[in-house]
A and B are shown apart, each in its own frame.
Chain A
Amino acid sequence: MKALVWHGTTDIRCDSVPDPQIEHPRDAIIKVTSCAICGSDLHLYDHFMPGMKSGDIMGHESMGEVVEVGPEAKGKLKVGDRVVIPFTIICGECDQCKRGNFSVCERTNRNGHIAAKAFGHTTAGLFGYTHLTGGYPGGQAEYLRVPFADATHIKVPSTLSDEQLLFLSDIFPTGWQAAVQCDIEPTDTVAIWGAGPVGQMAIRSAILLGAKQVIAIDRVPERLDMARAGGAITINFDEESVIERLNELTNGKGPEKCIDSVGMEAHAAGTVDAMYDRVKQATMMETDRPHVLREMAYVCRPAGTLSVPGVYGGLLDKIPFGAIMNKGLTIRTGQTHVNRWTDDLLRRIEEGQIDPSFVITHTVGLDEGPDMYKIFRDKQDGCIKVVLKP
Chain B
Amino acid sequence: MRYETERTRRRGHADTATDTLARGLGIFSIALGIAEVVAPRALARALGMKGQEGLIAGYGVREIATGIGILASKDPTPWIWGRVAGDGLDLATLATALEGRNPKKGNVGIAMAAVAGVTALDVYCAQTLSRETTHPLPPMQDYSDRTGYPGGIEQSHGAARDFEVPRDFRAPEAMRPYTQPQAPQRPTPSM
Q: Which positions in A face B, CB cutoff 8 Å?
A: 10, 99-100, 180-181, 183, 185-187, 200, 204-205, 207-210, 219-222, 225-226, 228-231, 236, 238-239, 267, 269-270, 274-275, 278-279, 282-283, 303-305, 328, 330, 332, 340, 344, 348, 352-356, 358-359, 361, 374, 377-382, 384
- B153's closest neighbor in chain A, by CB? A231
Other-chain residue from B73, B141, B169 in contact with A361 (beta carbon distance below 8 A): B141
Say yes or no: B3 contacts A378, CB within 8 Å.
Answer: yes
Say yes or no: A354 contacts B148, CB within 8 Å.
Answer: yes
Say yes or no: A236 contacts B158, CB within 8 Å.
Answer: no
**Chain B positions within 8 Å of A279 at CB level:** 30, 68, 71-72
17 residue pairs of the A-B complex, CB under 8 angstroms, read A185-B177, A204-B156, A207-B153, A209-B160, A222-B141, A225-B144, A226-B143, A228-B144, A282-B26, A330-B172, A352-B150, A354-B150, A355-B149, A358-B148, A378-B3, A378-B4, A382-B140
Say yes or no: A208 contacts B170, CB within 8 Å.
Answer: no
Say yes or no: B148 contacts A382, CB within 8 Å.
Answer: no
Other-chain residue from A222, A348, A379 in contact with B159 (beta carbon distance below 8 A): A348
- A307's closest neighbor in chain B, by CB? B169
* Given A270-B74, A330-B175, A380:B4 Cβ within 8 A: yes
Instruction: Tell me the complex Cα distance, A72–B151, Å.
Output: 42
Q: Give the Cβ gap from B146 to chain A, nearest Cβ, in Å.
A: 4
* Given A231-B157, A275-B71, A221:B148 Cβ within 8 A: no
Say yes or no: B16 contacts A378, CB within 8 Å.
Answer: yes
- Interface size for chain B: under 10, 10 to 19, 20 to 34, or 35 or more residues? 35 or more
Instruction: Tell me the complex Cα distance, A131–B23, Å.
Output: 29
- B145's closest neighbor in chain A, by CB? A229
Main secondary structure of the interface of B (DSSP, over half): loop
Instruction: Tell me the complex Cα distance, A363–B154, Å.
Output: 30
Instruction: Tell me the complex Cα distance, A379–B13, Å.
Output: 11
Other-chain residue from B68, B138, B140, B163 in contact with A221 (beta carbon distance below 8 A): B140
In the complex, chain B residues 97-136 whose Cβ is within 8 Å of any chain A Cβ: none
Instruction: Tell me the complex Cα distance, A183–B160, Å.
Output: 12
Say yes or no: B3 contacts A210, CB within 8 Å.
Answer: no
Say yes or no: A221 contacts B6, CB within 8 Å.
Answer: yes
Instruction: Tell me the complex Cα distance, A278–B155, Å.
Output: 44
Say yes or no: A221 contacts B5, CB within 8 Å.
Answer: yes
Instruction: Tell me the complex Cα distance, A355–B147, Å.
Output: 9
**Chain B positions within 8 Å of A100 at CB level:** 166
**Chain A positions within 8 Å of B6 at CB level:** 221, 236, 238-239
Say yes or no: A359 contacts B27, CB within 8 Å.
Answer: no
